[in-house]
Amino acid sequence: MKLTCLFLLLTGLLHSQEVTKSVKNRSERGTMSDQRQLVRGDTGKWNDTAMLLHAPSLAKKPQGLSLDDWIDELTETKTSTTAADDNWLLFRTRQLDDNDRVWIQMIEQTGNAFTITMHEAIWQGNYFKTFTYYEVNAVNLGKLPAGDYTVKWVVKPLTFTQLEKPREAQNNYQTNWPIDAHPGRGTALELKASFTVQ
């Protein structure tokens, strides 16, 4: 009887075990996304509302199609994955100004629940020549056992006034990060999604 209880307890602990990956320092910002695409406003594209989607393996994305265009295709079709497939999350930010920065800070898994924490740092300094953009982030969750899964994507607001390389603000977007980011006003944005692996 005691052995059975111990086995059930250990099995429950394994199923609810937490897996966490997080950015430890500023140089690691941007590394939690497996792919990123910046879509400038002067291309004629604009996005006022953030969006989160579960997606099949990026290998299924039509060749030559951007992540941004693939999101639009996936919103119109029903996708499914099996335990043999990689599972991806696609996240499209709201429209931002060129000095604003976003990065995934943490990816957590507890059982069949994923929580992705993203920081959205809004520039508080003076603008000279600016453009707007939104970013598409792709995160590979890997192969998952059959079952139902939930995702919560949390966007935490920050503000800042200094970049690591101020003279390269527009030319070095992917590696030029805020050095004085601190909590911003407002509440965190939460988007939720669910999917089934068959």
**SS3 of 38, please?**
strand
* Helix spans in the chain (H): 2-15, 67-74
What pLDDT is stored for residue 176 in this prediction? 86
Locate tokens 């924490």: which residue?
117
Contact partners, residue 81, CB within 8 Å, separation at least 6: 56, 57, 87, 144, 195, 197, 198
Q: What is the pLDDT at residue 19?
A: 76
DSSP β-bridge partners for residue 96: 133
| CA distance readout (Å), 7 to 19, 111, 112, 141, 163 | 21, 18, 21, 28, 52
Beta bridge partners of 119: 103, 156
Please check whether residue 8 lies inside any domain of the structure: no
- Residues spanned by the domain of 143: 18-197
> Is 80 among the domain residues?
yes
Q: Is the dihedral of CA 193, 109, 189, 100 positive or negative?
A: negative
The answer to whether residue 181 sits within a structural domain is: yes
Identify the pLDDT of residue 169: 57
Does the residue 164 lie in any domain? yes
Q: What is the pLDDT of residue 16?
A: 56
| Per-residue model confidence as pLDDT tens digits over 116-132 | 999 999 999 876 667 89
pLDDT score, position 13: 44
The helix/strand/coil state of 8 is helix
In a domain, 7, yes or no: no
Residue 12 covered by a domain = no
What pLDDT is attached to residue 165? Answer: 80
- Domain membership of residue 133 (yes or no) is yes
Tell me if 6 is assigned to some domain. Answer: no
Nearest to 117, CA basis, from 145, 98, 89, 95: 89
Pick out the chain residues at pLDDT < 50: 3-14
- How many distinct structural domains can be found in the chain? 1
Q: How far apart are CA 63 and CA 69, in angstroms?
A: 12
What are residue 97's DSSP bridge partners? Answer: 132
The pLDDT assigned to 198 comes to: 94
